[in-house]
Structure formats: structure tokens, C-alpha cells
Amino acid sequence: MKIEKLHSPKIISAQLLLLCIPAVVIAAYLLWHINQYFTVLNNQWLLQTIYFSLGLFTGCIFYNFRFRFLTTFLPLLLVLYLISGIINKTITAEFSAFYASAQFYIFSFLFIIGIIAGWGFARFRYFPMLLCVSMLLIQIIIVSKTTEITAQKLIIAFVPVLFFAFYIVYTAELIRNMNKDEPGFAWFIGKRLTGFTILSSIILFLLISFYSNDFKAIEKEFGGSAKQEKNDNSESLTKENRDGTVSNKKEMGLSGGHTSSKRLVFIAKLDNYFPNTESPNPLYFTYDYYTKFDTLTQTLETDSTMPSNDLFQPDPSKIPLYFTETDSSVLRKAKGLIARKVATTEVYKVLLSPKEFLAPSTAFFCQPISIDKEYQQQFKSAYRAKMYVSDLNSAYFVYNPAGNATLENFQQTRFEALRKISNWNSEDSNFINYYTFIPHGESFDSIRSLAQLITKNAATPIDKIIAIRDYFFSKDENGQPLFKYTDNPGIPGLPSANKLTFFLFENRRGYCAYFAGATLFLLRALGIPSRVSTGFLTVDRADKNKGWYWFYEDQAHAWVQVFFPGYGWLDFDTTIPNTEQQQSPAPDGTPPITVQSAFFVANGKVISIDTGSKRMQMLVTKMIYHDKTFELKQPVKINMDVSLATVNKDTGAVPLSTITAGMEVTSLSFSEQFKNIVPLESDSANDILAKIPKPIPIDEIRIADTEKEKQQMKPQAKAKEPFSILHILWIFLSIIGSILLTLFLLPWLIYRYFRYKATHTTVVRTKAYYGYTSAMYFLNQLGYARKNSSPLAFARDIVDTNFKTDFSAFVQVYLKSKYSNEQLKPWEEKIILLFYPTFEQAVKNKILFKDRISKFLNIYRTINYFNTPKI
């Protein structure tokens, strides 16, 4: 009888590898999660994981040697207790004592948990189940601490733990039930686990990809918000970019909640005043137009094919400083001719992404400008924009202008002017049809009847608009406001129910997107061409700096624009003020009023830079001198003195050493020297360059974000991107896929190796060996394994009879070369030299190509080939 060993290294290593390591991984994940909620942990989840794994591995190995649990565990507790006592006594400084003992308690706690877990894996059959239950409990506690539950968060919180639960129970049972003496222990476990992993990841993957829409619906039910942003303002109209800047979002969903914080996004100076007054007329800053409504996702969408697309959306970060981008076609497309004028705005970005362009409609000109040194810390970048604005446009529509005579006058003149318009017959029917389109359906019919009800007393379109506004402001029979502004309106009971009708008829609370969306359909129902515009709401709070406006995150807004023939698109905002929310803080700081104008601007590539002597050589392709732009057909080398220059990127100021040869930069000079050297009308670029002193003193250098740099940035940005489950699953599946591919290809690769050796070796004995090995492997893979017959008998009885080859003759010679002390005779050597190609061809002739492929895919045969048989 064999005496049963107390412990088996195989079992222990299987437990360590397959149970403990996954447990450590999931523990790290949980600890990382927990660290986000408990400050006492100091966010050292990595260290804590090490504590835990220390305990776990110790426990697992130790208790596999059949030590009693209580008799060893209690002394350990005692030792830890004593050590903690010593720590408390020896460290006198109060704070460090607290810190040290807190650290030690964390260590002891995790270590003990680890030890218990190790003991459980080693000895206690039902431990994995207990572990799963407790992990799920921990995760539930963590999730309950989460203020905002989204499907994403729920999936991220529970999927790993659930997956681990299945895994650990399955694997622990597998290891327990395995006969450790059975040959191929590792192979068997590996096989089972691979199967398990593939199966479960496929199931998970399918589940998540098929039901992702349902998940999203459920998460709306939870009252959370829908979007992917990690940031809390997930349903705001802005989105946070990877680099921390803010942009407007490209879609506008109607969902349960809308939150926004109050960070400063940008400030702007707008040169727009009420006609014939000094009183500034604020205008909404438009980012994009939403003209379509997707009934399926209940989302308003942009449409680049909208008729008379007057959207001007340049990327200011792509335009070199002081150079301009103009699109005059939008002026024609804006269709407004009456009471139009050109206004200018200067936008100084704080959080706003350097790529974004925002301006009152209808912008047609963009020119990045430099920021005075004093303000460079505060503002990242700036641009100047020119717009073709209507005299009739204004931010004042909702906000009661009562008391301000100028505003009241303006409102009256505006309404009077617009009342003259009663139809759109003069307009292109295509255009009108597009902007008055409403989807079909019961809910939209109810919107139509509501629109008619509201506007039954209004004769002209503008009166109808006012009526709609008044409807939103109206009070119910109890004297309470009919509509309320709220960031969290909730959603209808059915996930796919029409949210607009829910808003209009039942809930009557919502944020700007609801008001704008509802207004859009009310207007369109009345045949008034309209669209939703997004951007920023402009609030005039400044008394000191007239024309300067501050824009905070909660000013991200949506409103409607209505088309009036002759006047073009005008802004109308029907969103009622948020009575509960206090206004954004009053404008702080001073605006960067001192705007310098650069006398000399050069754009081109850096040829060389010497940071010691502060000299730079540039190959200039474009330049501006005294507001005159020159395109240099023949790039000119220019020497520059950069000793005073500040260097900027879109992301902020950088040291001079950032500049390297080959970079695309724009150099500016505000130097007074140039003030008096006025260019003549006929001067060419070279004439000017000849006139001005050299080296040219440069005050500011702006580095353009080149494509190459962006590509380098990409991988980093990707790494920072929060992992989505699908992402992980894809990676997982592709890893599994590549492993499987290698497994499938392995037999063929091995064969090719042997075959190569067999055909390329020149030494006869080695050639004989590889010829034999290759042939045997080939035959084995094709299903002709030697099994229990001897080499010669196999060659003679099986191979030669089946394939009509001369394998036995070869084997005879091979065995002679292997075991004999005699030299091979020339004819025997000839057999070896000529053997392989003919043999392979003979076998191939007998077995079809497709059969060979299917047989070569069989990894089992390869394993059997290399496996030493067991008794």
C-alpha cells in the first residue's frame, strides 16, 4: 500500500497559482475600490494588496502542511497584539504614533484576513463560497456608498466579483476533485480552465453587447445619468476632455439628470450694443445646431446636411497665431440681410478646449490671438471672432427686462419688427420643410394640439413664440408655477416612452434641453421653422467692464433659434429660470484688457535653436507684418533673438527648451522697433525683411500641435481612458484568440522545424535522425502513431503497406546508424539522403490536403507524441 502523502506539491502549486493569485487580483481591485471611500486607508491599495497576499500565500502554504488552525492562529493574533502594544509604547510623537499604529492595524487586519483565506483555500472546502459571499457583500456596501449609480459603475463593480465567484468555486472544486497522481495534472486543469474562461467570457461578452441598451434603460430607471463620463457632470451639455478641458457635446440626450459645476470655462468680450446706445447687448454663444430628433434614442442630433448650413466651426488650435480663417459663405447661408452688422468677440479660454470655437451666430472669422503675459497663467488660449449679428438678436427674452428702459424699448421694437412677418412663403420650400419637420406619431400629435391650444390667440409667429414662452411661465389653478426647472427631472416609467410628452403633459420639470426640445416641436407643429442651438448662455453681470462676460460650466445651455425671413435666425430661449439655484458667482478678477497687437508674426519650421545664446533660426513660410499677411512662396530663413520670448502651447506655458528643430511654431514680436518701420503698399515680404533689424526680437512663440505629436500623444491618452468592460473583454478575447491560434498552429510549426532539419542537415547521421523524427511526427499527426509496435514493424506493417513507401528500408538504415558500431555503406547513405522528399510526397498523395489540415489542427496528437507514456 502506498502511504498517502500529507501534502502534494502539485496541489499546493495549483492552489497558489489558480486560487491565490486570482484572489490577490480581486482583492487588489476591491481594495482599490474601498480606498476611494475610506480616507483612513490613505489610498495605498497596492501596499495593502501586498499585505493581503503575504497573508494569503503564507496561510495557504502553511496550512497545507496540516497544522492545526486554532493552535497556530491564536499565537499569531497574540504576537500581532504584542507588536501593536510595543508600537504604541515606543513611538511617542502623537501623530506618528497614530499613523504607525493605524498602519499596523491595517497591516494586521489584512494579513489576518489573508491567513484565514489561505487556510480556507488549503483546508476548508466551502471556503470559496464564503469568500464569494463576503466579497459580494463588500461590493454591495461600496456600491451603496456610491452617490451616483450608473450601469457602467454597476457592471464594473459587480462583473469582476461575479466572474471571480464563478471562477473560484469552479477552480477550487476542480483542484479538490483532481487526482493529483493522475498523469497530466497540469494539462488537465489547464484544459478545463481554458474551456471555462472561453465559455464564460463569451457569455459575458454576448450578454453585455446584446443587453447594453437595456442596461442603459435600467440605469435611467435608477435615476442616475447615462453618459460615459467619469466626471460627475455627466449629463451636462459640456463634456470633459481627456486633458481636463471642456467642450460642448455632440449629442444632446433627454435623460433623467443634468448636473453641472461652476467652474469658469471662458470669458469673452463682445462688441455688441443696442442700437444707438452704450448699453451692451449680450448674445448667446453658439456651438452647434441641432436640427433632427431621433425618436428611438430620444436625442436631438446635429446634421451636417441641413439646408443652408451656416455653421462656422474652425479649430482655433490649428490656426497659427494672428493668422485668420474666414468662411464668408456662411454669411449668404445665414439668410439675414435686414438689420445686420458685423460684431467682434474675443474669447479667452480657461477650461474650454483649445480646439473649440464658440461665438454668437453667425460667426465667419476666427483669429487666434496672443494673451498678455500677465494673464497667461489664467487663460490658456484666446481667439478673436467676427460675427454677422442681427440687431434684433439678444439674450433678453426670458429674463424679465422690467425696469430697464433700454431693454423694454428693444423688446418692443423687436416684436414690432417681427410682427410684420406672418408667413414663409418667400422661402425655399425645401428649407422650410426641413426645419418644420416633425416625426409622426401619437405623442407628436398631442404636441401639435397643445401648440394650437397655447397659441390660439396669437396671430403672428412672434406672438406665438411669446405665447409658448408665456405658457412655460404660466401658473396652474393653485397659483403654483406650471413648469419647474430642475436638473433631475426623472424619467417616465417606461424607458422608451416619449420624454417630451412626459415633460410637457405630466412631469413638467426639466432643464434647458427639455424646454428647448419641447419648444422646437411646439414651433414646428405651428409651421415655424426652428432649430435647437447649443452653446453658452450669456449673462450680463458686469457693471465695471462693459461688454465682458464670464461663462461658467452651468451656463452651458440649449435654446431655440427661429428663422424669420429677411432677419435670419434669431435666438429665443424658453427655459424658465432656475429659482432654486443661486446664480454663478459674480465675475471675479479683471479681464485681460490690454490687448497687444503684434507687429511681426512669422509662421514656419524651426531650423535650429540655441537655448544658451537664445537664438533661433526659422524657415518662415507665412508672415504678418503690420496686419498685412504675406505668403512666402520661397521659405526664408530668419534669425531671431528669443531671449525675451515666452513659449506657449495650447496647454499652457512651457520652457524654451521644449522647442526643437523641425517644430512648427509661430513667432510674434511686439517690439516697438517695428512700430515706425511702416510697410509700403508695394512692399513684398523680402522687401520688409530687408528693412527690419536682425536678429528679430521675439516676444512670444507658440508651438503648434503637430500631427506627429498628436500621434505620440494618442497611446498615452488611450492608457488614461477609463476601461470599459467591453474593452477588457475584447483584449481578453484577442489574447485567448491568439493563444488558440498558436495552439492550432503549433503542430504545423513543429513539423516545419523537423522537416527543415531533415532536409537541410548535411551530416548523414543527424539527417537520418531528423528524417526519422520528422516522418514519425508527420505520421503521428496524420493519425498513424507508432503506439506499441516497434519502429521497424511499424514502418513495415503500417506505413509501407498504407503509403507504398520505403520507410522500413530507411528505418533499418537509421537504426543501424543509431546503434551499430559499423560505418554506413554508400548505398545506405544514399537511402538516407534521398528518403525524405519522396516519402513526404507519397504520404501526401494518400491523404488529401483538407484532411491533412484538419489532422494538423489536432493538438492532442502533438501532446501525445511528446508525452512519455505512463504505466
Partner 1 sequence: MEQQEIIVNNETALHNIQRLTDNIETVIKGKRNQIKFVLTALLAKGHILMEDNPGTGKTIMARTLAQSISGISNGSVNFKRIQFTPDLLPMDLLGSHIFDDVKKDFIFKRGPLFCNVLLADEINRASPKVQSALLECMAENQITMGETTYKLENLFFTIATQNPIEMEGTYPLPAAQLDRFFIKIKFGYVDEETELGIYKDYIEINNNLNNIQQVLDISEVLYLQQQSENVFLHEEIIKAVRNIIWATRKQQDILLGASTRSGITFIKCLKAYALVNGRTYVIEDDLLDLALPVLHHRLIFRNKEAEAKTLGAIVNIEMERLSKLKLN
Least distance in angstroms from the C-beta of 750 to partner 1? 13
Q: What are phi and psi of 815, to 5 degrees?
A: -65, -35
Comparing CB distances to partner 1, the nearer of 124 and 751 is 751
| φ and ψ at residue 137, rounded to 5 degrees | -60, -45
Measured from the CB of residue 763, what is the shortest distance to partner 1 in angstroms? 9
Q: Which residues have C-beta within 8 Å of that of residue 135, sequence separation ≥ 6?
A: 26, 30, 161, 164, 165
606 three-class SS: strand
Residue placing its CB nearer to partner 1 in the complex, 418 or 824? 824
Nearest to 665 by CA among 241, 323, 372, 313: 323
Q: How far is the CB of 821 from partner 1 (least distance, A)?
A: 5
The least distance separating partner 1 from the CB of residue 6, rounded to whole angstroms, comes to 20
| Rounded Cα gap, residues 23 and 54, in angstroms | 12
Least Å from the CB of residue 834 to partner 1: 21
Q: Which is nearer to partner 1, 263 or 786 (CB)?
A: 786
Minimum distance from residue 770 beta carbon to partner 1 (Å) = 9
**What residues make contact with partner 1 under the rule CB under 8 A?**
2, 765-766, 769, 773, 776, 786, 788-793, 815-816, 818-822, 868-871
The nearer residue to partner 1, 442 or 822, going by C-beta atoms, is 822
Number of C-beta neighbours around residue 470 at 10 A: 13
**Under the phi-then-psi rule, with left for phi > 0, alpha for psi from -120 to 50, and beta for the rest, what region is 516?**
alpha
Distances in whole angstroms, Cα of residue 808 to Cα of each of 287, 772, 799, 843: 83, 11, 8, 14
Strand partners, 601: 624, 668
Nearer to partner 1 (CB atom), residue 250 or residue 818: 818
Of 733 and 792, CB closest to partner 1: 792
Question: How near is the Cβ of 818 to partner 1 at its closest, in Å?
Answer: 5
DSSP 470-489: HHHH-B-TTSSBS-EE-S--
Closer to partner 1 by Cβ: residue 569 or 769: 769
Separation of alpha carbons 670 and 484, rounded Å: 53
Cα–Cα dist 696/643, whole Å: 11
Question: Which letter does DSSP use for residue 586 in this model?
Answer: P
Q: Which residues contact 129 (CB under 8 A, 6 or more apart)?
A: 169
CB of 820 vs partner 1, minimal distance in Å: 4
Grid coordinates representing 201? 467570457
Q: Give the CA dihedral 563, 564, 566, 570, nearest 10 degrees.
A: -60
Query: In this structure, what C-alpha cell is assigned to residue 65?
Result: 502542511
CA distance 247 to 238: 5
CB of 866 to partner 1, least distance (A): 8
String of b and e for 330-341 (b: at least 16 CB within 10 Å)?
bbebbbbeebbe
Name the amino acid, one letter, at 464.
Answer: K
> What is the closest distance, in whole angstroms, from the C-beta atom of residue 53 to partner 1 in the complex?
40
Closest distance between partner 1 and the C-beta of residue 769, in Å?
A: 5
Distance CA 744, CA 500 (A): 55
Helix (H) or strand (E) holding 367, with range, is strand 363-369
Nearer to partner 1, 1 or 719 (CB): 1
In this structure, are residues 525 and 454 in contact, taking their beta carbons and an 8 Å threshold?
no
Closest to 213 measured CA to CA, from 11, 495, 6, 480: 495
Nearer to partner 1, 420 or 818 (CB): 818
Helix (H) or strand (E) holding 767: helix 764-781
Shortest Å, Cβ 173 to partner 1: 29
- Is 680 or 763 the residue whose CB approaches partner 1 more closely? 763
Show the cell assigned to 271. 462688441
Q: Which helix (H) or strand (E) holds 564?
A: strand 556-564
Residue 170 and residue 196 in contact, taking contact as beta carbons nearer than 8 Å: yes
* 48 or 808: CB nearest partner 1: 808
Nearer Cβ to partner 1 (762/868): 868
| Residue 730 C-beta: closest distance to partner 1, Å | 41
Amino acid at 446: S
Smaller CB distance to partner 1: residue 694 or 825? 825
